[in-house]
Structure 1
Amino acid sequence: MADQEQQQKLSRSLKSRHITMIAIGGAIGTGLFLGSGSAIRKAGPSIILSYLIVGIFCFFMMRALGELIMSDTSKHSFIDFVKQYLGDRMEFITGWTYWSCWLSLAMADLTATGIYLRYWFPNLPQWIGPLVIIVLLMLINMINVGLFGEFESAFSMIKVLAILALIVIGLAMVLLHTHVAGGNYASFANLVSHGGFFPTGPFGFLMSFQMVVFAFVGIEMVGLTAGETKNPQRDIPKAINALPVRIGLFYIGSMIAIMSVYPWNQIVTSSSPFVQVFKAIGITGAAGILNFVVLTAALSATNSSIFSTSRSLYSLAAGGNAPQRFTKLSNKAVPNAALQFSSAILFIIVILNYIMPAGIFNIVSGVSTINFVFVWLIILWCHIQYRRQNPAGLAAFKMPGYPLTSWLTLIFFCAVLIVLLFDASTRTSLIISVIWFIVLFIAYPLLKKSRAK
């Protein structure tokens, strides 16, 4: 009961539009704007099918999460449900893993911001951008949760407008049969006329899933907003149900637009496909415009990270799996102690960018992807345990197709982790993640003994 009372002190200041834009912002990252070029070259047009398949399974994962949250909106986050249905040890492992997910994702994006800023300021040291951004966003998050919602809404809107512009421009070029570089014309035929829909074969198609999953990490952040949402019964289902539309429009729509304008085998990986499409119709400063968009995407990820890590730490502390000082709230009902601690950890990336600016990004982003998939598996497992104890489910927001959809989604994400073993670029990250889980598994009984003393 004491835990519940503490959690209810969190301010319910997030409005419907905040929740919707947080859900959108969580699903759109730098992976789409920058990473889609290399993804297209590996899989060709079949990447469209990869986005569709991963999107469907992410939707089922989100519906499982939604049913959990809506079954008891007095709980602050999905981490509290892990404690209830999977036990204290799994809450400890999941909570600290989710905390590490967002920290590693923010570290990857903060590293990227240092690179993006050098587009305009070539002589700026790579570590200065991350330092300024951490301090600025920490201060914004400390004021109140409503201000976080406003900033995240603004960041998300910029990303959405960039994607919509790409889709509209691409469609117009196809309809007008516009001539593009290399003697080609914009046409839907480009999706199948350069080696077919699966030009790199089954292996290329399978390898694309890792890159596509990375594009979706963060969508579950809606599961951390329950305790700070004005009307969770209305706003959370609305945000989750809109997910398929976002997936179809933003991911699949942008991939179709890009590969209809340029044949997949002519898209270069040295610059973003978005820049290539904008340049194709003569938009001056296309590279500068996109640089601003990806900088915004990185700021959004860091803003979300500071919010998510502080709330994860608050939930862990409320459950006795982190120091109790992290449950303390400011007079604006913000867990400032947890927020300041998580922000301080982010300063590690400032140091790493000073010491080794070239090699840190790939390893950190790989660890983040693997740990996020692990958290999704825990959410699904937790939901299955909930339905075993409550066979009727939640009438107002029931998981569609349960239990088949739950088990299929669980199996799919396990298969994605297995695929990562065959990719040399993610093998190191996978080993680091496994070591992290082993350390947490061993640390829990030691913590329990310490608490007992």
Structure 2
Amino acid sequence: MTTQSAPTTDTLESGSPDSGDGLKAGLKNRHLSMIAIGGVIGAGLFVGSGSGIAAAGPAILISYALVGAMVVFVMRMLGEMAAARPTSGSFSAYADQALGRWAGFSIGWLYWFFWVVVLAVEATAGAKILNGWIPAVPQWGWALLVMLVLTAVNLAAVGSYGEFEFWFAGIKVVAIGAFVVVGLLAVFGLLPGSDNPGSGLAHLTDAGGFFPKGPGAILTGVLMVVFSFMGSEIVTLAAGESEDPQKAVTKATNSVIWRIGIFYLGSIFIVLTLLPWNDKSIVDEGSYVAALNSIGIPHAGQVMDVIVLTAVLSCLNSGLYTASRMAFSLGQRGDAPKAFAKTTSRGVPRAAILGSVVFGFLAVWFNYQWPDTVFNFLLNSSGAVALFVWLVICFTQLKMRGIILREQPEKLVVKMWLFPYLTWATIAAISFVLVYMLTDDAGREQVLLSLLVAVFVVGFSLVRERLKKGAAQPAAAPVEDRVADSVER
């Protein structure tokens, strides 16, 4: 397999058959559409929503709405930059341009770190489901098999990733869409043969009111649901390998509101109207399984296992793709090994993919060997990275708006609303969530360990830049001396 070095520029031109950085435009419009839709539906929505409902009651809807609003604003900012300058490095490349090399280097590696840890989490979650179906194969065997298959998919071509993600995301979308429609019919007593009494909206207030745990529980709910939204930004990385990046980013950015409204708020609303929020089955069985059982759907648990497995595989597939493209962009900018910036003849960054999956395999091994020590540290030290990424996107957009207006004003086709006021409001909201996490035991550990890793990475990047400048000065000195000598003569 031949390789080619990526050119120095990282910007992709709309409609080019091959991207300007060595990647191929192998993603079709239907791939991008489904990646955009599926990107906001993580396995956390299916698995973790029950705990949020138990913690906040019906008020969890407000928690989802608040976090959803933050994601909409962040995606609008990112969409503004990505539509103007689509690139495989997305927000890391923009931070590089707007805030400095240290910012692009730091947030790029932190984001890579987040996703390679996610690889281990999702591989283990998928392995547990598969082991329950076929216990003859040990869990670690299933985790290994899942990782190997999806690595092969990503190594084949970007179109293979797009095709797999199209079907994985499609199953999630159809499942939640059907859940919302069937659930609404059951809520109002219109579903034939339903076991649910069809009490309308009564369950939103009949078990202690809409705020059974008090208004403060909304913030507790925010902490529990915020990380299930991570992944919305993947489409801005993937758009760089599409035939029309600008159109893909614009479409994804404009549709994020209804996607969050239907898939998050809509599905959680159905759960809360089918069952009282304090029904034990919501936590014991899972919110969606409990809701399906209340309707009388046979084998609800097995049905949901299939859907959760699909969500897990989708997240793992996208995680490997995202980590490898970020590693590729870092390599291209000289912030990672040069091998990461090379692509195969099919436009696949093979070294970046393998480098990412090796760390993913290592994290899986840590999860089986030292789950409560080493792997727990990896989880917590990457836990708040999502919020750091969103903050960097906000600060980057504040400066990139001016850069785009000066250099390519015609490319400003997507604009952040009420700029710069809404950008600053989003920064304040994300900062508040980070500070509030310090009051929560689990959140405090995540913020502090993530901050520790972030400080280390930023410190490393600053020292690295200073050493590079120091190494460049001696080479420049003789030239300066020669100029001085000629002036004296």
TM-score range, shorter chain: over 0.9
The answer as to whether partners of 2:332 and 2:338 remain within 8 angstroms in 1 is yes
Alpha-carbon shift at residue 114 of structure 1 (Å): 2.1
Q: Residue 116 of structure 1 aligns with which residue?
A: 129
Q: Residue 322 of structure 2 aligns with which residue?
A: 308
Q: Residue 255 of structure 2 aligns with which residue?
A: 242
The answer as to whether partners of 1:7 and 1:227 remain within 8 angstroms in 2 is no
Which amino acid in the other structure matches residue 64 of structure 1? M
Q: Distance in 2 between matches of 1:65 and 1:367?
A: 25
Q: Distance in 2 between matches of 1:123 and 1:134?
A: 19
The answer as to whether partners of 1:325 and 1:337 remain within 8 angstroms in 2 is yes
Match of 1:372 among 369, 372, 386: 386
> CA 1:339/1:259 → structure 2, altered by over 3 Å: closer, same or farther?
same
The answer as to whether partners of 2:23 and 2:241 remain within 8 angstroms in 1 is yes
Q: Residue 351 of structure 2 aligns with which residue?
A: 337
Alpha-carbon shift at residue 297 of structure 1 (Å): 0.8
Alpha-carbon displacement from aligned partner over 1:128-175 (angstroms, at most 9, x marks no partner): 222111111111101110110110111111111221122122111112
Q: Residue 403 of structure 1 aligns with which residue?
A: 420
Q: Residue 106 of structure 2 aligns with which residue?
A: 93
Q: Residue 215 of structure 1 aligns with which residue?
A: 228
Match of 1:417 among 434, 437, 458: 434
Q: Distance in 1 between matches of 2:468 and 2:263?
A: 48
Q: Residue 61 of structure 2 aligns with which residue?
A: 48
Q: Residue 48 of structure 2 aligns with which residue?
A: 35
Match of 1:294 among 290, 299, 308: 308
Alpha-carbon displacement from aligned partner over 1:369-411 (angstroms, at most 9, x marks no partner): 4101101110111000112445687542111111111111111
Alpha-carbon shift at residue 77 of structure 1 (Å): 2.5
Which amino acid in the other structure matches residue 104 of structure 2? E
Which amino acid in the other structure matches residue 349 of structure 2? P
Q: Residue 160 of structure 2 aligns with which residue?
A: 147
Q: Residue 474 of structure 2 aligns with which residue?
A: none
Which amino acid in the other structure matches residue 318 of structure 1? Q
Matched residues, percent identical? 36
Q: Distance in 2 between matches of 1:368 and 1:289?
A: 31
Q: Distance in 1 between matches of 2:374 and 2:188?
A: 43
> CA 1:226/1:160 → structure 2, altered by over 3 Å: closer, same or farther?
closer
Instruction: Please show how residues 109-188 of structure 1 align to structure 2 within 5 Å.
Output: 109-122=122-135, 124-176=137-189, 185-188=198-201
Alpha-carbon shift at residue 278 of structure 1 (Å): 1.6
Whether 1:104 and 2:153 are equivalent positions in the alignment is: no
Q: Under a length normalisation based on structure 1, what TM-score does the superposition of the two structures give?
A: 0.93
SS in 2 for 1:329: strand
Match of 1:226 among 231, 234, 239: 239
Q: Residue 8 of structure 2 aligns with which residue?
A: 3
Which amino acid in the other structure matches residue 238 of structure 2? T
Tell me how many residue pairs correspond in the alignment. Answer: 452
Moved more, 183-192 or 341-350: 183-192
Q: Distance in 2 between matches of 1:359 and 1:273?
A: 30
The answer as to whether partners of 2:98 and 2:399 remain within 8 angstroms in 1 is yes
Which amino acid in the other structure matches residue 339 of structure 1? I
Alpha-carbon shift at residue 36 of structure 1 (Å): 0.6
Q: Residue 65 of structure 1 aligns with which residue?
A: 78
Q: Residue 252 of structure 1 aligns with which residue?
A: 265
Alpha-carbon shift at residue 7 of structure 1 (Å): 4.5
The answer as to whether partners of 1:77 and 1:226 remain within 8 angstroms in 2 is no
Gaps of 5+ in 1: none
Q: Distance in 2 between matches of 1:274 and 1:168?
A: 14
The answer as to whether partners of 1:114 and 1:129 remain within 8 angstroms in 2 is yes
Q: Distance in 2 between matches of 1:398 and 1:129?
A: 45
Q: Residue 338 of structure 2 aligns with which residue?
A: 324
Q: Residue 476 of structure 2 aligns with which residue?
A: none
Q: Distance in 2 between matches of 1:177 and 1:222?
A: 38
Instruction: Please show how residues 356-371 of structure 1 align to structure 2 within 5 Å.
Output: 356=370, 366-371=380-385
SS in 1 for 2:362: helix
The answer as to whether partners of 1:21 and 1:157 remain within 8 angstroms in 2 is yes
| The structure with more radius of gyration | 2
SS in 2 for 1:340: helix
Alpha-carbon displacement from aligned partner over 1:155-196 (angstroms, at most 9, x marks no partner): 111111221122122111112178998x96542111112111
SS in 1 for 2:434: helix
Alpha-carbon shift at residue 8 of structure 1 (Å): 2.9
Q: Distance in 2 between matches of 1:411 and 1:99?
A: 25
Q: Distance in 1 between matches of 2:136 and 2:44?
A: 26
Q: Distance in 1 between matches of 2:275 and 2:393?
A: 39
Which structure carries more relative contact order (alpha carbon 8 Å, separation 6+)?
A: 1
> CA 1:310/1:128 → structure 2, altered by over 3 Å: closer, same or farther?
same
Gaps of 5+ in 2: 1-5, 11-18, 472-489
Q: Residue 200 of structure 1 aligns with which residue?
A: 213
Q: Distance in 2 between matches of 1:320 and 1:73?
A: 19
> CA 1:346/1:416 → structure 2, altered by over 3 Å: closer, same or farther?
same
Moved more, 105-114 or 325-334: 105-114
Alpha-carbon shift at residue 202 of structure 1 (Å): 2.3
Alpha-carbon shift at residue 417 of structure 1 (Å): 1.0
The answer as to whether partners of 2:57 and 2:213 remain within 8 angstroms in 1 is yes
Q: Distance in 2 between matches of 1:75 and 1:126?
A: 34
Q: Residue 30 of structure 2 aligns with which residue?
A: 17
Which amino acid in the other structure matches residue 260 of structure 1? T
| Cα RMSD for the two superposed structures | 2.4
Alpha-carbon shift at residue 363 of structure 1 (Å): 6.0
The answer as to whether partners of 1:158 and 1:296 remain within 8 angstroms in 2 is yes
